[in-house]
Structure formats: structure tokens, C-alpha cells
């Protein structure tokens, strides 16, 4: 009965109950934040360009209308070129093992960029007693660690996939793991 209920729910709603629960929780959190913070807190009447609402709207527009089409097109071009080559296919695709650390690197660059370029250096020095000099080095180390971790996980997954395919080929008696012609 439970599987039938989920199938009917999926047909009516378009996704599974966990998706609806996640969306409802997200909108409830948004409602709480708006009720607690008050929308006027997000607007600076003295200098409009420093308002959080303006920066949020600009970020949404810049991402959805400019950046997303650019990096989606770049991704499609890169992977289309790779697909045309006559290269032996690996049992595990490297695609997401490059995408995820690149995304993490880009997001952390976005967060650390004011520190990397020295924006607000005097305020940062007055508040913390430290300079912004180590920001670039730390961001580079974090980026290197993300790519190294991703490469390690990829190599482990590739090794286990190779071991699994050799086990399958030895159980079928075929040395290459392919069907005989």
C-alpha cells in the first residue's frame, strides 16, 4: 500500500514526499527570516547600492542571466569535445570529480575575494589586529586540498571499479569482461 501511495503522490505532485517536505521547510525558514528581520532592515535608505536587497537581486540576475549560460555552455563544449575523441572509456567518469572542486573553489573565491584583493584592509586591521595578506595563500591551499581530495576519491573509485570489473570478467571466463561474439 505504501509503494502505491508514493506512486500516486509522485504522479500528482511531480516528485517524492521528501522534496515537498524540504520545500515547505525552506519556505517556512524564509517566512521566519522575513518576519524576524523585517524587510526594511534589508534596505539602506542613505546609499541604495549598499542594500542587501539590491545585492541579492543583482546576484540572482547576474547568475541566472549571465553566468549560468556561460558556464553551462563551457561545460557542454568541453564535454562534447571529449566525447568525440576515440579514447578508451574509463569505468568511472571524471566529470563530477572536476566539477565539484571547481565549484567549491569558485564559491570560496567569491567569499574570500574582498580579503584577497585587500578591500577594507584598514577596517579588518582595526577589528582583528591582523593583515589580509594570508587570504590568497589560504584560498590557494583550500583549492588545492579540494582538488587533491577529489583526485584521491576518484582514484579509489577507479581502483574499486577496476577490481569489480576484473572479478566479473573472471567469473564469466572472459578475460576482457565483454560478451563473446
Over residues 120-138, the pLDDT tens digits come to: 889 889 999 999 999 999 9
- 27 and 60 share one domain: no
CA angle (154, 69, 104) in 5-degree steps: 35
What the block records as the C-alpha cell of 19 is 522534496
Q: Determine contact, residues 112/139, Cβ cutoff 8 Å.
A: yes
pLDDT surpassing 90 at residue 150? yes
Report if pTM > 0.75.
no
- 22 and 52 share one domain: no
The DSSP element (H or E) to which 140 belongs, if any, is helix 134-172
Torsion of CA 80, 86, 91, 93, to 10 degrees: -20
- 90 and 4 share one domain: no
By residue range, what is the domain housing residue 125?
47-169
Is residue 75 in some structural domain?
Answer: yes
- 131 and 164 share one domain: yes
Mean pLDDT of the chain: 83
Q: What is the pLDDT of residues 63-101, one digit of tens each?
A: 889 888 988 898 888 778 766 665 566 778 888 899 899
Amino acid at each position: 500500500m505504501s509503494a502505491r501511495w508514493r506512486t500516486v503522490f509522485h504522479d500528482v505532485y511531480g516528485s517524492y514526499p521528501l522534496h515537498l517536505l524540504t520545500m515547505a521547510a525552506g519556505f517556512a525558514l524564509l517566512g521566519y527570516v522575513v518576519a524576524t528581520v523585517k524587510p526594511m532592515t534589508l534596505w539602506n535608505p542613505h546609499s541604495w547600492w549598499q542594500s542587501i536587497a539590491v545585492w541579492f537581486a543583482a546576484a540572482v540576475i547576474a547568475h541566472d542571466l549571465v553566468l549560468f549560460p556561460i558556464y553551462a555552455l563551457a561545460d557542454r563544449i568541453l564535454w562534447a569535445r571529449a566525447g568525440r575523441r576515440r579514447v578508451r572509456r574509463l569505468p568511472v567518469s571524471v566529470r563530477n570529480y572536476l566539477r565539484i572542486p571547481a565549484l567549491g573553489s569558485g564559491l570560496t573565491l567569491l567569499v574570500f575575494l574582498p580579503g584577497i584583493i585587500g578591500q577594507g584592509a584598514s577596517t579588518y586591521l582595526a577589528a582583528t589586529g591582523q593583515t589580509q595578506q594570508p587570504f590568497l595563500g589560504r584560498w590557494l591551499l583550500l583549492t588545492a586540498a579540494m582538488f587533491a581530495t577529489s583526485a584521491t576519491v576518484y582514484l579509489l573509485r577507479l581502483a574499486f571499479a577496476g577490481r569489480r570489473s576484473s572479478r566479473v570478467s573472471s567469473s564469466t571466463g572472459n578475460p576482457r569482461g565483454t560478451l563473446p561474439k
